[in-house]
Every structure is written in C-alpha cells, then in structure tokens.
Chain A
Amino acid sequence: MIFNTWVYGVFLTCFFVFYWVVPPKGRMAVLVVGGLVFYTYYLPLHTVLIVGLILATYGLGAAMDRLRNQETGAGLKGVFTLKTVLVLSLVLCLGVLAYFKYLPLLAATFDGLILLLRRGAPYQLPDIVIPLGLSFFVFEFVHYLAEVYKGSVPRGSLCEYAAFGMFFPTLVAGPIKRFQPFLEQIRHPVPFRLEYLSEGLYRILLGLGKKMIIADSMIYFTDPLANPLNAGGADYWVAMYAFAIKIYFDFSGYSDIAIGSAKVLGIRVPENFDRPYFQQNIAVFWNKWHMSLSSWIRDYLYIPLGGNRGTLLFTLRNLIMAMALCGLWHGAAWNFLVWGLYHGLGMSLFRVYRKKGTALINMVEKLPALPVKIVSILVTFHFVCFGWVFFAADLHTAFQFLALMFSF
C-alpha cells in the first residue's frame, strides 16, 4: 500500500476507527493485524518474509537475552556465545537485505566484467522483487538486536516486537523507529484525544501537499538529469535545483504522512527532517536530513567502526566508510556508492577544516556573521545539490550532466 493512494486513505480511516474502538489492551494486536493487512495488500508472499524475519530476529534476541542471564541461559552457554548469536542475527538480517537488494547489483557487475573480459557465461539472475520497505525494517531489526545484545532495551513480548516491526505508518519509508520509545507507548496506551486527530490530519495533509503538489510537479524540470544531451544552457541548473526540491519534498512529505498516520493513533515516531537546506555545514546537514537514518548510521555503523576515537585519519576513514554504506543503503547501484563517498569526503574535508584550519576559522570568525552565514548555507546547499546529480542518474549520465553544466 502506497501512502498517496486512495486505498491507503480508506485503510487508515477504517483502521483509525477500529483502533480507537478496541479496548486499550487489544490495541497492540490490532496494530499487528493492521500491519499484516497493509503489507499483504502489496505482495502477500513478502508478508511471509517479514513475519519470518520478525520471528527469527525475536528468537535470536531471546537467545541473547538468555545467554546474558546465567541461570536460564545455561543450556545455550556451551554452544553459543552472546557475540556469536549477534553475528548470526546480523548475518540473517543483512543476508536478506543483500539477497533482495544487492544481488542484482553484484550480478550485473559480474556480468559486466564477464563481458569486458570475454570469458565465462553471464550469471542468470532470477527476477527478484524487492520487498516494500525492506531497507527500513531490516535496519529496525538490526537496531533491536544490537540493543538487546547490549542489554540496553527490554526484550519485550513477541506481540510487542511484532507491533514494532509491523507498524504500518513507518513500514514503507520510515522514519526508522527505536524500540524502547515505541514499546513504552504501546505498553501504556493513551485514551483518545482530539488533538491526535487534528495534529495527525495536519501532518498528513501537509505531507500530501508536499508530495503531490510540489515534488510531483518537479518532474517537468528534471528531465535533463535523465537525458542530458537533449537539454542545453541553464536547463541543467534548473534540473539540479528541481531535483533538490523534489527529493526533499517527496521524502519529507512521505515522512509527514507517516508521522501523521502514527499521530492519529496516538503514537509518536521520530521526526525525519528539520530544514536541512538551511544548514551551514555538511555535518549539520546530515543531522537534519533523514535524521532517523543519520542517527542509525552514527549509532550502528560509525561508532562501532571506531567513530572519532582515534587519529584524525582513523576518523576520516570511518566517516567515509559510514557514508559510503549509507549511500549503498539508498540504492543498489554504483552511483549511490559514489554519492555516499562524495558526502563522506565532504564531511571529511569539513572535519579537517574544523581540526586543522584554526587560522582560517579565526579569520572567518572576524567577518560579519550574517554574510558568513548566508554564504555557508549557499555553499552547503550547492554541495548537496551537486551530490544529488549522482543520486538521480547513473554514473555515466551523472558525469556527462556535470560536464555539460559547466560547459558555458
């Protein structure tokens, strides 16, 4: 089910009524059933996958929980360590993600090499349909497993975990939730309040407006990104800005609908965007753009890689790696990897500037604050905009587009 369709409107309306009519104790089960209906509508087979993943990850989480507990986990102790179970569970989650999302990329690359070297037979890939919202719910499961491993969240019951995993407002496009805040809300259901409806409706309408009025209108301007040779002059610049507008309003619109849909059910989910194009440097941009993903990358990628707990070079390596993976998360194509590396390099440069550019920083601080702020915002915005070219087009087209942009 896609948000900006009538069927979702009907589904949400019916679910809203049903959810508030059911006694508070039953709402958790209603959320699970709602998620199942929502997901099954898209492709029933994939419901089996998500249900299987929920059961498996919950089971693995339970195993980790037992292993931490000396008495009840005694039977498991001799066979598995806590870390082994974590690795197993991560292999499971990331394996599913890799199979559905990245196998086609690897196969295509392999076939490209075969063709280049003129040796061997190309790999015949079966038709794979990527499950709706796969990247989002896998990241939520990884978060859950990592936190259970650390012992920082309660394991929760299977129903609670299923309600977390199958929560339909965030199932398709996030925001990527955290288990504990969600658990607290479903464990302590609130009575209906009119502001849930009004605030939720407001966010949903805002999101629909962003998506359908602004973002969808931009497609008339972005064609040069797909066919650069058919355009000329300022078309490239218009296309780049239009794409920047489109992607922000599209994604933040979707997030608004998700947040609003959760809100009408009296449930808060994380915000995802906070005026990202008005930030003064690329590091802050990433704190304001797709915030639930940025914080996930920070907590489960960047910090485990070592974060900034080492030399500057070590930090830069971690930054670039984390952003490269972040790029690949957005899509299984090499242009997304380049987009991630581009941002990783940008953040690294900014880090170097902050650490080693004291003289330059002092000089800038002596300049009038407002012009510096405006220039900083414009520089950051344009850095992001040029990056969108790699996001929007395959590598060959992206480089062609950039070359044509500057061929005055």
Chain B
Amino acid sequence: MGQKTVGSITFIVSLVVFFFITNSLALWYVFHQMGYDHNFRFADGAHVKAEVLDLYLEYVAGQGGYKIAVVGDSVVQGAGVPEREQTLTAHLQEELWGGYSKTARVFNFGLPGGRPADLYMMVKELHEAGAAQMIIVNISYPFFSYEMTKTPLLYFKVWSPGLSVIEKEELKVPAGFTSAQGAEASLQQGAEDSEDAGDNVEKTVSRYWAVYRFRQEINRYLFGGPPAVQGKAYLDLILHGIVPDAAPAEEFPEEEPLSEKDKPENRYKVWTSFPWSDQDKEHLKNVFNVTEEDNVNFKYYRLLCGYLQENDIPALIFMSPVNHSLLQRYELLDYSSYVHNTGLIRQVAEDRGILFLNYQEAIPPHLFHDSMHMLDEGNAITAGLLSQELQPLIEGAGQR
C-alpha cells in the first residue's frame, strides 16, 4: 500500500473518529452544563421551557440502569429545600443505592406549579421517549380543589403544540396565545411546506450530530456566547470602556413574593418560624377546599391513571404528605371531605390496578416548610417510605 493511501485512510478514519468523539463529548458537555447528571431538577417557578424538557428527556432516555422517573409538582421538584441533594428524588436515589438496588437511577420530573394535566402530559412524554422503566407519580390533595382550576395551566406553552382545541379550552390556555400559536403553527406549516431539502437535511444532521445541534449552547458555556460577539464586546470594552449589557434579566422576572413563606429570608425555614398572614391562610383554605364536584383536574387525573393502565407502565402513585398541624391550627381543612375525597382519589388509581400510597399523614409537622413542601429530612423520610414500597417492584423487575 502506498504512503498516500495509508495517509488517506488515516485521515478518513481520523475524521470518523473525530466525528464520534466530538459528538459524545458535546452531548456529555451540554448535559453536564445543564446539570442533568447531578440530581437535576427544573427551575423554581413556572420557568420550564420545552427545549429544556426535551433535552432532559433525551438525556434520561440515553442513560443506563433501571430508570425511575418521579413525576409531580413542586413537592417532587423540592421547593422547600435549597439544594438538589435535599430533594425527594436525590434521597430516593441514595436509599436505593445504599439499599437493595445498585442499578436504579432516579430522575426528578417535578414541575413547580404542575397539575394533573401537566403530570399526564409528562407521563406521555416519558413513555413515548421510552425514557424510564418505572414512573412514580406524586399527587397532591390541593390538585382537586376548585381553586386550582381557576387559572390557566402554568405549562401550556410547553404542551401547547400537542394540545387539541378542546384541551386548550378546558385547560384555560389564554385565547391570545391560542390564536398566536395557531398563527405560528400555520406559519410553521407553511414554512414546512415551502422549505427546501436543505432545511430537512439540516434538521436531520442536527438530530444526529450533537456538535452542530448544540453549537449555541457550547459557545455559550465555553465562551459566554459566540466567540466573535464576545471578541467585539471585549474590543468595545478596551476601546470605548463600554461594559457589555448584562445578560437580560430575562425571561423570568422575579416577582415580589406576596407570601411570608416565599420571602428570601424564610424560604427554606420550618413553617413555625415565620408569621402566617390572613392572606396566606385564606389561600391555603381555598386550595385545600376540595369538593365532590368533578372538575378538569380530576378528569386529567383519571386520564393519567387510564394512560398508565392502558400502556401497562410500571407505576405507583403516592399522595404528598400534608402538614396537618398548620391546617388544624388555622382550621383550614374540612376533614370529613378530606377523608371522603382521599378515598375517591385512591379508588381511581386502584380501579386501574395502580399501587396507591397515601403519605398524607406520614411526615411530622416540624419537617415542613409550609402546608405541603417538606424540608430536607421530610424528603428523606418520604424517600425511605417509597424505597420500601419499591423494593418488591424493582426486585420483581430483576433490577438489584
């Protein structure tokens, strides 16, 4: 074989190897920077973007081991604790690794402010992506109150492209958004109709070549933005002393907390350490006021259970622990309805053959930040309880 041929083979093989190595590196780097490999949880508040969810699903789907996705609201997300390691899912991961399953991986899919419709959509996404072997769904009692049906679904932008007109209507997707989204969708459709082969090729390449797909993210993480833009900003600074505009305070302007519990100084403290205003109490009374009246959240809860059953998805549902001391102190809960409604909620799950765990009285009051959100130790205890219930399921699946 001639020297040129050997050189050519080396070059081409190097190109191929380079392609695969950079591809893997880019994936790892971006996922790492997003924090997916470190007890990831979605951002506080209703700030989850569709692309973040898609990427996270892609990351989880690409992981090995016995994957458990915990779907829920801010209780799962960990709104009562500052660190990722203190969340329910992080504790559950520790419990499993320290106990009977070395291969289990627990992923946090808690959407702060999420409702049964969000949980239903999330479960569908997880199932369609084939991302997890088991799904744990966390249901909170206030989900079913009339109060929680009054406002639009917080994550309608994330799910909207897949929602039907009826779904948009019953989930109170803002009318303006519906029409804009419709216009956008029709524009998108038009663009798709007219787009040339090049765009399709670009999309395909983008799907399989992470370096290209994540070029903006990689630039942002490595250089703080496109290198040329950064270079220009640096020159402006040197030549004119112009300080680059601060990153747009962006998308998520923090609102002044209305509640004492949400003020920065109280955020992760036990509920007894700060005052409870009449407004806070009124709000709690409303969200815990669950009547027998059927509503949209109950409908989506039934849909969720039905979906788990129809698709034979290994799953369990647990009800969030409740801080009864707080509720009783201010007489915020009608206990006769509570017992009755809890029974109804349980029945929906059990009728569909889903293991239902009621943890509403499982955690002592001093481990709560507020009525529902637990402190670190509360999450740990709940994780311990879940771990015990999971043991036969995981071992039954042959994952130790």
Contacts and interface: CB of A to CB of B under 8 A. Distances in A.
Interface stretch (B32-40, B132-140, B227-235, B355-363): B227-235
Contact of B201 (A7, A194, A202, A217): A7
Interface of A: 5-7, 9-10, 193-195, 197-199, 201-202, 217-221, 232-235, 238
B5 A232 contact: no
Contacts of B229: 220
A218 B11 CA distance: 30
Interface bin, chain B:
20 to 34
Given A5-B198, A217-B227, A194 B12 contact: yes
Contacts of B9: 194, 198
Contacts of B226: 217
A195 B8 contact: yes
B11 A193 contact: no
A214 to B, nearest CB: 9
Contacts of A7: 196-198, 201
B4 A195 contact: yes
B150 interface: no
Nearest to B212: A6
Contacts of A238: 235, 239
Interface of B: 4-5, 7-9, 11-12, 15, 196-199, 201-202, 205, 226-229, 231-232, 235, 239-240
- Per CB-CB distance, the 6 closest pairs between chain A and chain B, nearest first, are A217-B228, A7-B198, A198-B8, A6-B201, A194-B8, A198-B11
A6 B199 CA distance: 8
Given A6-B205, A218-B228, A220-B232, A198 B198 contact: no
Contact of A234 (B15, B228, B232, B239): B239
Given A7-B196, A7-B198, A218-B228, A202 B11 contact: yes
A250 to B, nearest CB: 14
A7 B195 CA distance: 12
Most buried by B among A5, A195, A238: A195
26 contacts: A5-B198, A6-B199, A6-B205, A7-B196, A7-B197, A9-B201, A10-B197, A10-B198, A193-B4, A193-B5, A193-B8, A194-B5, A194-B9, A195-B4, A195-B5, A197-B12, A198-B12, A199-B8, A201-B15, A217-B226, A217-B227, A217-B231, A218-B228, A221-B232, A221-B235, A232-B240
Contacts of B227: 217
A5 B7 CA distance: 28
Contacts of A232: 240
A233 B7 contact: no
Contacts of A199: 8
A221 B202 CA distance: 28
Given A6-B202, A7-B198, A198-B8, 17 more contacts: A6-B205, A7-B197, A10-B198, A195-B4, A195-B7, A197-B8, A198-B12, A202-B11, A217-B226, A217-B227, A218-B228, A220-B229, A220-B231, A220-B232, A221-B235, A233-B240, A238-B235
